[in-house]
Amino acid sequence: MKKRVAALFLAAVMVVSVTACGNSSTEEPAAPSESAGETAESGDDTAAESDGGAASTGEKVLSVQIGPNPETLDPALNSAVDGGNMILHTFECLLTVDEEGKLAPGQAESWEVSEDGLTWTFHLRDGLKWSDGSDLTANDFVYSWQRVCDPNVAAPYAETVLSMVEGYEDAIAGDITKLNVVAVDDSTLEVHLTSACSYFGSLAAFATLSPVQQATVEANGDAWAVDADTYVCNGSFYISEWVPGSYIMCTKNPNYWNADAIKLDAIKFNLIEDANASYSAYQTGEVLFIKDVPTEEIPSLEGNPEFYVDPIIGTYYLSLNTQKAPFDDANVRKALSLAIDREYVANTLMQGTYSPASNFMGPGWIDTDGSEFIDNANGGQPYIDTANYEANLEEAKKLLADAGYPDGEGFPAITYSTNDAGYHKVVAEYLQQAWAELGITLDVDIVEWASFTPMRRNGDYEASRNGWVGDYSDPSNMLDLLYSTNGNNDGKFNNAEYDAAMDVSRTTLDAAERSEALHKAEDILMDQAACIPVAYYNDFWLQSDKITGMWHSAYGYWYFMYADITE
């Protein structure tokens, strides 16, 4: 009988044994984290629901969602916006960006630039400490910046942030000590540049240039940044727990110089990938802030005071392969550009989460005198009058006729390539319609993401979706994309005048001259339709009215460190 029972339930037993294995190996470590998560969450609830934060646990935990599990939180290795946003809370650079979007003192309390613009001197605050309590000095910055250049580290942003520093070429080739960044004493850092870089201050606030602790990194290798125990940092919060794919708990760093101004006890970054899951968690109050809002919900959120739309520096644009006929003709490119109803695309198709783009450089980019770059562009006029689509379309038809294709006759069928995410497919379908007005047949080719980028970079396309979000607010960050030899020049635009203007902007020390050169570059870009700007990026998110004291920057980051939860 015994044997029979065993036989009958064998399948079930099999299952039990396997799951039992799973259980025994994980229940133990899971148990403490479980309770920690629970108390933290209930702490959040009590803080949010009863007035004042001093209820039962007394913990004020801000639960937010800004992206999925980050691939890395090593400042040197990160290249993602959401990773960068978390790093902003765990690390602090020499400088930082304040509520007004202006540079503000960070680890450095002051800084100055030599008259020739080639030497930047940063004066660190007194008594800076790492999260483990040890001292942080200017030498830590020297080590960290050299590390960014180290070919064995292979930091993706090395060139962006350090290529203007003396000795960069040698450093990137392996001799990292050649990088001319010097710790004059424990609290003074001197950086020597090969050419003046008016926006180096922005770079000094860029996450890649955060200081990392030499001893920790050397003892643990790349793995230092994946474990809460070895994640030594210097920001307003430190990582107390990281459950990959679930959440990252950042606890207030008592060793932070401005710890007294920090009101939260912890920030919980929920690593939610799916927008609908984020939205549900927001609705139930499990999180108080979500970055990923399902696009289907946007119409119902209009007018909701918890729904925010705020510009970031970046442009959604189309690349045309300027090396291939018929896109080698500027008239053709301009015709294609003018045939797009940008207001319809941004306001209707993209549900107002984007803004129509009249220029390549949108709002938020800062001119050399500190004013908005867009206000000074094209004599203060938009390049494309987005409100006047009908006239633009007439102009487009005329330009196409001038190019030898009246009513699109003789124009070859063209292919538009894009990956499928966000509004990309909707835009592609719209382009089919819009360009049909010119008598042009457009085929849409949806390409899987990982194949799409190399294809576009290699120029194996005719027309394709493209986009850029600025790393720092100097216009060169985006105008460089059309420089003939730039790695992101997907349209293979090659214009000697454009390159010359950009060269001037790189070398000149005169602010007015530099500004003129940058505007000239954009003039050429728009006149030649080197690419087709369609819409400016915005960030849109849901934020509970219980959160106070946080802000959003034009770089696409949210600053939660000085936030508070109120009732």
Partner 1 sequence: MFKYIVKRIVLGIVTIWAVATLTFFLMNMVPGGPFLSEKAISPQATAALEAKYGLDKPMSQRYFTYMTDALHGDFGDSLKQRGRTVTSIITSRFPVSARLGGSCVLVSLILGIPLGCIAALKRGKFADSLISVVATCGIAVPSFVICTVLMYFLGVKLAILPTIGLDSIKHYIMPVAALSFYPTAYIMRLMRSSMLDVLGQDYMRTARAKGLAGGVILFKHALRNAILPVITYVGPMLAYTITGSFVVEKIFVIPGLGGEFIKAINGRDYTMIMGTTIFLATLVIIMNVFVDIAYKIVDPRIKLK
Which 24-43 positions form the footprint of partner 1 (CB under 8 A)? 25-26, 34, 37-38
Q: Residue 254 contacts by C-beta under 8 Å, 6 or more apart in sequence?
A: none
What is the closest distance, in whole angstroms, from the C-beta atom of residue 23 to partner 1 in the complex?
Answer: 6
Binding to partner 1 (CB under 8 A): which residues in 403-462?
448-451, 453-455, 457
For 91-121, the DSSP string reads ---SEEE-TTS-EEESSEEEEEE-TTS-EEE
Q: Which of 15, 215, 509, 511 binds partner 1 (CB under 8 A)?
A: 15
Helix (H) or strand (E) holding 86: helix 81-90
Our CB check for partner 1 shows the closer of 83 and 356 to be 83
Does 494 interact with partner 1 (rule: CB under 8 A)? no
Q: What angle do CA 524, 527, 528 make, to 5 degrees?
A: 80
Our CB check for partner 1 shows the closer of 276 and 323 to be 276
Tokens of 544: 């509970």
Q: Residue 528 contacts by C-beta under 8 Å, 6 or more apart in sequence?
A: 330, 333, 493, 495, 498
Which string of x and - marks every residue 63-102 that binds partner 1 (by CB under 8 A)? ------x-xx-x--x-xx----------------------
What is the closest distance, in whole angstroms, from the C-beta atom of residue 26 to partner 1 in the complex?
Answer: 4
Does 18 interact with partner 1 (rule: CB under 8 A)? yes
Our CB check for partner 1 shows the closer of 8 and 436 to be 8
> What sections of 287-388 are H helices per DSSP?
298-301, 330-338, 342-343, 373-376
Q: Bridge partners of 506?
A: none
Instruction: Report yes or no: 266 and 47 within 8 Å, Cβ to Cβ.
Output: no
What is the closest distance, in whole angstroms, from the C-beta atom of residue 247 to partner 1 in the complex?
Answer: 8
Residue among 410, 282, 392, 279 nearest 345 (CA): 392
What is the closest distance, in whole angstroms, from the C-beta atom of residue 325 to partner 1 in the complex?
Answer: 25
Instruction: Report the C-alpha gap between 138 and 221 in whole angstroms.
Output: 22
Does 496 interact with partner 1 (rule: CB under 8 A)? no
Q: Which of 45, 132, 159, 564 binds partner 1 (CB under 8 A)?
A: 159
Our CB check for partner 1 shows the closer of 488 and 528 to be 488
Instruction: Report yes or no: 558 and 308 within 8 Å, Cβ to Cβ.
Output: no
Number of H helices, E strands in the chain: 19, 21
What is the closest distance, in whole angstroms, from the C-beta atom of residue 154 to partner 1 in the complex?
Answer: 4
Q: Which of 48, 87, 95, 155 binds partner 1 (CB under 8 A)?
A: 155
Q: Which segments within 52-97 are labelled E, that is strand?
A: 61-65, 95-97
Our CB check for partner 1 shows the closer of 229 and 274 to be 274
What is the closest distance, in whole angstroms, from the C-beta atom of residue 310 to partner 1 in the complex?
Answer: 21
> What sections of 152-213 are H helices per DSSP?
158-162, 168-172, 200-203
What is the closest distance, in whole angstroms, from the C-beta atom of residue 101 to partner 1 in the complex?
Answer: 22
Straight-line distance from the first to the last Cα atom of the chain, in angstroms, rounded to the nearest whole number: 65
Instruction: Report yes or no: 365 and 373 within 8 Å, Cβ to Cβ.
Output: yes
What is the closest distance, in whole angstroms, from the C-beta atom of residue 41 to partner 1 in the complex?
Answer: 9
Q: Which of 49, 51, 229, 274 binds partner 1 (CB under 8 A)?
A: 274
CA 153 to chain CA centroid, Å, is 21
Does 273 interact with partner 1 (rule: CB under 8 A)? yes
Q: Is the peptide bond before 406 cis (omega within 30 degrees of 0)?
A: no
Q: Which of 19, 258, 323, 348 binds partner 1 (CB under 8 A)?
A: 19
What is the closest distance, in whole angstroms, from the C-beta atom of residue 232 to partner 1 in the complex?
Answer: 14
CA 518 to chain CA centroid, Å, is 23
Window of 268-276, 386-394, 502-510, 549-557 that interacts with partner 1 by CB under 8 A: 268-276
Q: Which of 12, 115, 305, 370 binds partner 1 (CB under 8 A)?
A: 12
Our CB check for partner 1 shows the closer of 284 and 300 to be 284
What is the closest distance, in whole angstroms, from the C-beta atom of residue 246 to partner 1 in the complex?
Answer: 4
Binding to partner 1 (CB under 8 A): which residues in 205-264?
221-226, 243-247
Instruction: Report the C-alpha gap between 475 and 156 in whole angstroms.
Output: 21
Q: Which of 2, 11, 303, 496 binds partner 1 (CB under 8 A)?
A: 11
Our CB check for partner 1 shows the closer of 8 and 325 to be 8
Our CB check for partner 1 shows the closer of 318 and 393 to be 318
Strands 188-192, 119-124: pairing kind: antiparallel
What is the closest distance, in whole angstroms, from the C-beta atom of residue 339 to partner 1 in the complex?
Answer: 26
Residues in binding contact with partner 1, number by CB under 8 A? 72
Our CB check for partner 1 shows the closer of 154 and 436 to be 154
Residue among 82, 377, 310, 364 nearest 202 (CA): 364
